[in-house]
Amino acid sequence: MIKLAVLGVGYWGPNLVRNVKELPEAHLAGICDLSPIALKHIREKYPDVPLFTNFKQMIKKTHPDAVLIATPAHTHFSLVKNALHQNLHVLVEKPLAMNSRQARELTRLAENRNLTLMAGHTFLYSNPVREVRKYIEAQELGDLFYCYSQRTSLGQIRSDIDALWNLGPHDVSILNYWTGTMPTRVSAWGFCYLNKKQQISDVVFGKIEYPGGISAHLHLSWLDPQKVRRMVVVGSKKMLVYNDMDTEKPIQIYDKRAEKEKIDPTDPLHHRFGIKSGNISLPKIPCPEPLREEIAHFISCIKSGDQPLTDGRHATDVIIVLEAMSRSLKKDGKPIEIKEIFT
């Protein structure tokens, strides 16, 4: 059994605690948070779990094998580095760090110490997301043309990071996973309506260009009347909609496409496009909680020594894309080549 400690039980941490408590292969060794109020809420639900306000004290008294970190993004680098130096395996919520230099440092440190480092890109542990990748790899959709994503709601309004760094990691992680590669160029435009003095973008529109002419467009917002978690993939053969809010039919596959039709068979350049429309498929997909799958995968990798699906390298790639988009955002949408961040 793997002994796990949780650091941070504000917004997301309680979900980690709940899942760790329910996993038979895990033991919740301790919980740490600076807020007495947050710890009070945890004590009411889990009175048997040791609680701490000091991270080092928790590690010293509970001797965990690994730590799950769900603290504000700007604290991730120092906390993960501290945990790795204490020979602890680490699962940290996204983003792994606030820049690619820090992310690379953490990745190298974990590799040098033979420790499991994993970032909480939870959607890659969602069955529908994995099914979409299978359809793409099997060429069910044909050649990919473009994708677009909507990730909007009213709140949670952040003051430590903007909508790009809060919501964008999900879509970038998914798109990199689906395409199996890194983008070549990105652009982004941001709008500050609530935090004008701090220049924190509440709304972000982004464009990501992948090899082979594949483009992806993002709409990220904390200011929207509807909570939307939707991605559309358009291919040369079929089109697909992934809706994370629809647990009964999260994937819809449309047998639709545009095809060239010749008007004059003697003139190969004289043609028009016809629309082909067939059935809509609604595959049955079991949807266990992705966070449960993520933590179970983390434990499995600790035991086996295998690299996690969302290891430090995957997390670093996501951060590189976000860094490039941030540069573009500051330059009012100027395209940024990804190689500028690599070098």
218-246 pLDDT per residue, tens? 999 999 999 999 999 999 999 999 999 99
Residue 259 pLDDT: 80
CATH of the domain spanning 124-288+320-342, picked from 3.30.360.10, 1.20.120.1230, 3.40.50.970, 3.40.50.720: 3.30.360.10
CATH topology of domain 2-121+290-310: Rossmann fold (3.40.50)
pLDDT at 214: 97
In which residue are the tokens 């889990």 written? 46
Q: What is the pLDDT of residue 277?
A: 83
pLDDT on residue 267: 64
pLDDT of residue 213: 95
Report domain extents, the chain: 2-121+290-310, 124-288+320-342
List Cβ neighbours of 219 (8 Å cut-off, separation of 6 or more). 148, 149, 150, 151, 152, 204, 205
Q: Taking the CB of residue 261, how many other CB atoms lie within 10 A of it?
A: 11
* Weakly modelled stretches of the chain, pLDDT under 50: none
* Helix 163-179 / helix 312-330 crossing angle, nearest 10 deg: 130
pLDDT the model gives residue 268? 63
pLDDT given at position 155: 81
